[in-house]
């Protein structure tokens, strides 16, 4: 039997349905589904994606039998519409549209009004009783056909638009709408001349030629460079192909009993269960979009001004019918739909239905409401909200009602919005904010020395740097709004101002940042803080009931830990001790420690740091009462704590009472060619065990004190950058020894663990050995990604965006975990680690711990928990629930 290439739909019965998306494409499958539901859909047929594949395999030849099947289906359409394709008296017009398995918006071609020619146009005019509509449709068709099918395109203004402009000049008019039927008719002929001039070919008068031309063009549009690169970026296989939908045209511009509109079955911004949409009387679909006329609201409930005329009022019967369809579609699809409709002379036609896009707030409300309405279950509700979307809900946002003056745009490094006075130094940020001012720290780029200022500021703006620059990473960790790499900013530290073009912004002037979009706005703008209770809480509780994966947070300060705990964090997965080293006068002691000539000198300086670190840990233990706290020993190379510029070195030298030359030489001696792979992590604690000793002592002293105060403390001491079990063994010896001493001194028992980060490829390869000593693993996927790819996060900005853009890599592996490469090492680490210790607790504390795809991967490979920055904790909780539900 001949293969079926064409699927008819119309008059309440379709050969396809919604399950046949692979064969019929998304659009075709939904048109068929609606037809089957008894919803009025203009009849038509879908040519399958299979035909597209065969078309390319056979170098532009259609499979045998297709022509016959198309002819037969077209006959059925004619019969339903009571019109005939190519008939002079009562011509049927059709549209030809693409429709792939997944939406590729704007990537492929469409041709409308097929079937018009010099003779059918008369019949069409007779039917519409509108000469202008007739010639205008014909004019548009010829132009569209020439451009899409015949490939007549120009770099500059199209020759067809030029011809229209000439005609308007000739007539002394300015608007297209002022062109009369005669003008339009003349333009049709002029267009045909242009086609002949440009292509040497002829516009096909024969409707069937037009139809096949359009079908071929739509198939070919699957392979335009634009579509190909879209697929590469979105990982859509080349061999899927597109379907083609041929459908009878209906017209919303046939008088005051005609209309066209778009609607959402619920409010897509708020999620309210109100039918929400716009329409235009006597108009075509493109008029709604073009914005020349102002669309009217769908119903009384959504009228904003009394003078508006809703569809409910203008065409009550049609509105009632549309409302019923809305109900039917929601009941059927069990989700909010985005629909398009046309009313042709009082008759309602549905042209499209698809899942409606919605804001995060709407997504949450709709999901929770629909459970209440019995439409969906809780699992489905949880799956309906995209984890990443929650980001919108967790940060303050700019009030969308307010008009703003955008000064510049940078990279949206950390979401949220904030208003404040501009300052240019970390010191000013601290000082002004202590005086109660809200400030925004503006720097060319930030460095670890700016930490306190960043902490004090409402938001951070930098002129240089990418999504993984210091400013971006730290700000995300702090859950603080941040815009980076804003190249238009010219910062003059000396004059304490920055300029963007002609605009000068001085220290103390107000600006507002939108870290979600990367906008820099002049002046103060009102921001909205969303609520985390109500529906949000309900949904998150459901999510928690489904997930297996624990969610912890990366937090270095009690303040951050508190936020994270409120967001549902179940412990701290990474507390970086070095961030504490920059506070106040600690940095002086850190520097003295680094520059000491011997162990004695180092120990002296460390003794000064000990009580400070102890207080840090005590603060965190108190906030995390009852929950585990993973503390990482010192990680960065020591030169990161030293000044770099000569004047700073000079200042430090006089403070320390040594000569500039001596200090400069020491600073240079510590500098490294590749600090990322240099003397850092446990390599420091091994060469200078006194550092690990001090940190351990601080942890145990704090823990003992907390326990004495009745707090439940579960410290997990984590040794960074381990590549060999001997490194961990030596550091664990130090921790156990100092811990034992301290517990004996204090007379308190602390329930602690010692484990390691797995962030060096070799650690994954030898995880079986490392697990002999480690009591837990935590994957540091930031560094693991750096080493596995050989990409320096600080330098990859030169080529990584290029790689992603060209599709060499599917995405930035620092943002989304590279499952096929780095993921192998994670899996191997888990497998080998658990081979040695079957109950080894394993987590992840790289930035990937808050990225939904990566969280899903962590669930799949059997991790116990993920740890992420405080503001991503809810995202991780939801992603973990998704992972568990999808894994079922």
Q: Element (H or E) spanning 766, and its range? A: none
- Indicate if 482 belongs to the active site: no
Residue of 175, 294, 434, 674 interacting with its own copies (CB under 8 A): 674
- Residue keyed to tokens 């045998």: 64
Min dist. Cβ of residue 487 to its own copies (A):
13
Q: 353 has which bridge partners?
A: 339
Q: Which one of 328, 354, 762, 811 is in contact with its own copies (CB under 8 A)?
A: 762
Give yes or no for a contact between 718 and 763, defined as CB atoms under 8 angstroms apart.
no
177, with CB counted inside 10 A (0-12, 13-18, 19+), is: exposed
Q: HSE (CB half, 13 Å, CA atoms) of 740?
A: 6
C-alpha to C-alpha distances, 311 to 262, 342, 414, nearest whole angstrom? 12, 12, 43
Catalytic residue among 845, 859, 868, 882: 845
Task: Check binding of 766 to its own copies (CB under 8 A).
Answer: yes
Residue number, 535 or 812, with CB nearest to its own copies:
812
Detail the DSSP E strand segments found in 198-356: 242-248, 259-264, 276-281, 296-297, 337-344, 347-355
Helix axis angle for 360-372 and 535-546, nearest 10°, is: 80
Distances (CA, A) of 236 to 199, 217, 222, 242, 819: 34, 20, 12, 11, 18
- How many C-beta atoms lie closer than 10 Å to residue 217's C-beta? 22
652 or 770: CB nearest its own copies: 770
Kindly indicate which of the ranges 45-53, 441-449, 558-566, 677-685 contains the residues binding its own copies, using the contact rule CB under 8 A.
677-685
Q: Kindly report the length of the chain.
A: 888
The per-residue b/e assignment along 103-119, b for 16 or more CB within 10 angstroms, e otherwise, is ebeebbbbbbbbbbbee
**Which residues is 660 bridged to in the sheet?**
none
Task: Considering the complex, state which of residue 561 and residue 722 has its C-beta at the smaller distance from its own copies.
Answer: 722
Q: Residue 686 interacts with its own copies (CB under 8 A)? A: yes
Q: CA distances (Å), 548 to each of 39, 381, 536, in order? A: 43, 18, 20
Q: Please report whether residue 448 would count as binding its own copies according to CB under 8 A.
A: no
Shortest Cβ 145–its own copies spacing (Å): 37
Give catalytic status of residue 859 as yes or no. no
Residues 395, 470, 579, 859: which is the catalytic one? Answer: 470
As measured in angstroms, the least distance from the Cβ of 785 to its own copies is 9
Instruction: Identify the residue among 808, 835, 886, 887 touching its own copies (CB under 8 A).
Output: 808
Q: Does 672 bind its own copies (CB under 8 A)?
A: yes
Compare residues 361 and 758 and give the one whose CB is closer to its own copies: 758
β-bridge mates for residue 344, sequence order: 347
Nearer to its own copies, 189 or 802 (CB): 802
Size of the site for its own copies (CB under 8 A): 48
Stretch that binds its own copies, among 84-92, 659-667, 700-708, 798-806 (CB under 8 A): 798-806
Return the closest-CA partner of residue 326 out of 289, 362, 299, 346.
Answer: 299
Query: In angstroms, rounded to a whole number, what is the distance separating the alpha carbons of residues 108 and 148?
Result: 10
Shortest reach from residue 823's CB to its own copies, in Å: 9
Interface stretch with its own copies, choices 102-110, 210-218, 297-305, 799-807 (CB under 8 A): 799-807
Q: Which of residues 493-552 bind its own copies (CB under 8 A)?
A: none
Residue carrying structure tokens 């009571």 = 82
- Contact region for its own copies (CB under 8 A) — 127-135, 235-243, 579-587, 679-687? 679-687
Q: What does 153-180 look like in DSSP terms, one character per residue?
A: --SSS-HHHHHHHHHHHHHT---GGG--
User: Based on CB atoms, which residue is closest to its own copies, 438 or 811?
Assistant: 811
Separation between Cα atoms, residue 5 and residue 225, nearest integer Å: 27
CA distance 77 to 85: 9
Q: Which residues of 801-822 are buried (b: 16+ CB within 10 A; e: fewer)?
A: eebbeeeebbebbbebbbbeeb
Establish if 236 lies at the interface with its own copies (CB under 8 A). Answer: no
DSSP 593-605: HHH-SSHHHHHHH
Site string for its own copies, 732-761 (x = CB under 8 A): ---------------------------xxx
Task: Identify which of residues 202 and 806 has a Cβ nearer to its own copies in the complex.
Answer: 806
678 binds its own copies (CB under 8 A): yes
Q: How far is the CB of 597 from its own copies (least distance, A)?
A: 16
Secondary structure letter of residue 393 according to DSSP:
H
Can residue 240 be called a binding residue for its own copies (CB under 8 A)?
no
CA dist 726 → 147, 757, 770, 774 (Å): 70, 14, 8, 11
Query: Nearest approach, Cβ of 772 to its own copies (angstroms)?
Result: 14
Among 58, 772, 802, 862, binds its own copies (CB under 8 A): 802
Backbone angles phi, psi at 343, to 5 degrees: -110, 115
Window of 182-190, 404-412, 556-564, 804-812 that interacts with its own copies by CB under 8 A: 804-812
Residue 779 beta carbon to its own copies: minimum distance, rounded to whole angstroms: 14
- Under the binding rule (CB under 8 A), the answer on residue 15 touching its own copies is no
Instruction: Kindly report the backbone phi and psi dihedral angles of residue 756, in degrees, each rounded to the nearest multiple of 5, phi listed first.
Output: -145, 155
CA distance 268 to 274: 10
**Smallest gap, in angstroms, from Cβ of residue 791 to its own copies?**
6
Specify the 3-state DSSP secondary structure of 752: coil
User: Considering the rule CB under 8 A, would residue 772 count as an interface residue with its own copies?
Assistant: no
645 binds its own copies (CB under 8 A): no
Q: Does 803 bind its own copies (CB under 8 A)?
A: yes
| Residues 774-793: x where in contact with its own copies by CB under 8 A, - otherwise, as a string | ---------x--xxxxxxx-
Tokens 């001997």 found at? 726
Taking CB under 8 A as the criterion, the residue among 208, 236, 522, 677 binding its own copies is 677
* Contact with its own copies (CB under 8 A) among 809, 816, 861, 885: 809
Closest contact distance (angstroms) between CB of 803 and its own copies is 8
Find the part of the chain contacting its own copies (CB under 8 A) among 98-106, 333-341, 703-711, 817-825: 817-825
Q: How far is the CB of 196 from its own copies (least distance, A)?
A: 38
Of 50 and 683, nearer to its own copies (C-beta) is 683
For its own copies, which residue of 723, 755, 849, 870 counts as binding (CB under 8 A)?
723
Residue 743 makes CB contacts below 8 A (sequence gap 6+) with 700, 704, 749, 750
Calculate Rg over the CA atoms of the chain: 33
Q: Contact between 180 and its own copies (CB under 8 A)?
A: no
Q: How far is the CB of 477 from its own copies (least distance, A)?
A: 20
Nearest residue to 260 via CA among 343, 316, 337: 343
- CB of residue 727 to its own copies, shortest distance in Å: 6
Minimum CB–partner distance for residue 683 and its own copies (Å): 5
Task: Kindly give the pairing relationship between strand 572-576 and strand 550-554.
Answer: parallel
**Of 161-169, 318-326, 529-537, 673-681: span binding its own copies (CB under 8 A):** 673-681
821 binds its own copies (CB under 8 A): yes
Residue closer to its own copies (CB basis): 213 or 685: 685
For residue 478, the number of C-alpha atoms closer than 13 Å in the C-beta half-sphere is 21
User: Contact with its own copies (CB under 8 A): which of 237, 798, 838, 839?
Assistant: 798
- Residue 726 engages its own copies in binding (rule: CB under 8 A): yes
Instruction: Answer yes or no: are the C-beta atoms of 841 and 354 closer than 8 Å.
Output: no
Kindly state the tokens that stand for 93.
């017009």
**Shorter beta-carbon distance to its own copies: residue 430 or 787:** 787
Q: CB count, 10 Å around CB of 372? A: 12
Residues recognised as catalytic: 470, 845
User: What are the residues binding its own copies (CB under 8 A)?
Assistant: 672-679, 683, 686-687, 721, 723-724, 726-727, 730, 759-762, 765-766, 783, 786-792, 794-796, 798-799, 802-803, 806-809, 818, 820-822, 824-825
């Amino acid at each position: 039997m001949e293969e079926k290439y064409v699927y008819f739909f119309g008059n309440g019965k379709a050969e396809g349905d919604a399950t046949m998306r692979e064969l019929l494409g998304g659009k075709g499958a939904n048109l068929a589904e609606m037809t089957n539901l008894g919803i009025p859909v203009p009849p038509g047929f879908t040519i399958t994606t299979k035909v597209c594949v065969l078309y390319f395999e056979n170098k532009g030849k259609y499979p045998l039998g297709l022509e016959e099947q198309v002819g037969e289906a077209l006959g059925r359409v004619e019969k339903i519409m009571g019109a005939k394709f190519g008939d002079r008296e009562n011509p049927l017009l059709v549209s030809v549209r693409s429709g792939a398995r997944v939406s590729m918006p704007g990537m492929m071609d469409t041709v409308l009004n097929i079937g018009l020619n010099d003779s059918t146009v008369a019949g069409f005019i007779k039917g519409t009783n509108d000469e202008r509509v007739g010639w205008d449709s014909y004019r548009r068709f010829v132009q569209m056909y020439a451009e899409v099918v015949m490939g007549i395109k120009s770099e500059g203004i199209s020759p067809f638009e030029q011809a229209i402009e000439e005609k308007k000049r000739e007539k002394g008019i300015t608007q297209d709408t002022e062109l009369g039927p005669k003008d339009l008719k003349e333009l049709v002929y002029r267009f045909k001349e242009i086609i002949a001039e440009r292509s040497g070919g002829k516009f096909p008068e024969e409707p069937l030629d037009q139809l096949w031309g359009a079908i071929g063009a739509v198939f070919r549009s699957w392979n335009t460079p634009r579509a190909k690169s879209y697929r590469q970026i979105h990982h859509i296989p080349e061999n899927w192909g597109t379907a083609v939908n041929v459908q009878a045209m209906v017209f919303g511009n046939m008088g005051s009993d005609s209309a066209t509109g778009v609607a959402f079955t619920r409010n897509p911004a708020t999620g309210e269960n109100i039918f929400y949409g716009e329409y235009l009387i006597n108009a075509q679909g493109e008029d709604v979009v073009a914005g020349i006329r102002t669309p009217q609201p769908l119903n009384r409930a959504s009228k904003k001004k009394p003078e508006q005329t809703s569809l409910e009022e203008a065409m009550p019967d049609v509105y009632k019918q549309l409302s019923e369809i809305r109900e039917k579609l929601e009941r059927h699809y069990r989700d909010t739909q985005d629909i398009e409709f046309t009313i042709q002379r009082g008759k309602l036609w549905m042209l499209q239905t698809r899942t409606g896009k919605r804001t995060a707030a709407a997504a949450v409300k709709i999901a929770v409401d629909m459970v209440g309405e019995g439409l969906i279950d809780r699992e489905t509700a949880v799956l309906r909200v995209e984890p990443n979307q929650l980001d919108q809900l967790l940060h303050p946002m700019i009030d969308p009602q307010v008009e703003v003056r955008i000064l510049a745009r940078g990279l949206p490094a950390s979401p949220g919005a904030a208003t404040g006075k501009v300052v240019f130094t970390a010191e000013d940020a601290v000082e002004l904010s202590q005086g109660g001012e809200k400030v925004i720290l503006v720097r060319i780029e930030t460095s670890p020395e700016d930490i306190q200022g960043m902490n004090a500021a409402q938001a951070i703006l930098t002129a240089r740097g990418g999504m993984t620059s210091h400013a971006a990473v730290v700000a995300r960790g702090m859950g603080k709004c941040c815009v980076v790499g804003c190249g238009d900013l010219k910062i003059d530290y000396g004059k304490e101002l920055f300029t963007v073009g002609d605009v000068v912004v001085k220290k103390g002037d107000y600006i507002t940042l939108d870290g979600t979009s990367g906008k820099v706005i002049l002046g103060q703008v009102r921001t909205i803080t969303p609520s985390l209770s109500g529906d949000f809480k309900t949904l998150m509780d459901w999510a928690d009931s489904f997930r297996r994966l624990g969610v912890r947070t990366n937090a270095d300060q009690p303040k951050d830990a508190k936020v994270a705990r409120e967001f549902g964090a179940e412990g701290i997965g990474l507390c970086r001790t070095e961030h504490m080293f920059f506070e106040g006068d600690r940095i002086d002691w850190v520097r003295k420690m680094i520059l000491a000539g011997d162990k004695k000198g180092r120990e002296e300086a460390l003794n000064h740091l000990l009580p400070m670190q102890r207080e840090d840990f005590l603060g965190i233990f108190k906030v995390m009462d009852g929950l585990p706290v993973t503390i990482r020993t010192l990680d960065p190379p020591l030169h990161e704590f030293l000044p770099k510029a000569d004047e700073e070195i000079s200042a430090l030298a006089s403070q320390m009472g040594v000569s500039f030359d001596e200090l400069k030489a020491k600073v240079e001696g510590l500098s490294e060619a590749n600090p990322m792979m240099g003397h850092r992590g446990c390599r420091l604690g091994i060469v200078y065990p006194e550092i690990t000793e001090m940190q351990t002592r601080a942890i145990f002293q704090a823990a003992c004190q907390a326990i004495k105060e009745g707090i439940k403390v579960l410290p997990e001491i984590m040794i960074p950058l381990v590549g060999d079990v001997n490194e961990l063994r030596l550091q664990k010896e130090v921790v156990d020894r100092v811990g034992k001493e301290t517990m004996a001194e204090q007379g308190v028992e602390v329930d602690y663990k010692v484990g390691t980060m797995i962030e060096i490829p070799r650690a994954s390869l030898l995880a079986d050995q490392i697990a002999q000593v480690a009591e837990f693993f935590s994957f540091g996927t930031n560094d693991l990604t750096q080493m596995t790819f050989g990409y320096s996060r600080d330098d990859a900005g030169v080529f990584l965006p290029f790689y992603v853009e060209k599709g060499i890599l599917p995405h930035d592996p620092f943002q989304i975990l590279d499952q096929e490469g780095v993921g192998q090492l994670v899996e191997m680490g888990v497998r080998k680690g658990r081979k040695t210790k079957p109950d080894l607790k394993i987590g992840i504390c790289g930035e990937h711990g808050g990225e939904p795809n990566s969280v899903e991967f962590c669930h799949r490979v059997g991790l116990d928990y993920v740890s992420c920055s405080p503001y991503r904790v809810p995202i991780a909780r939801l992603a973990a629930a998704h992972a568990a539900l999808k894994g079922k």
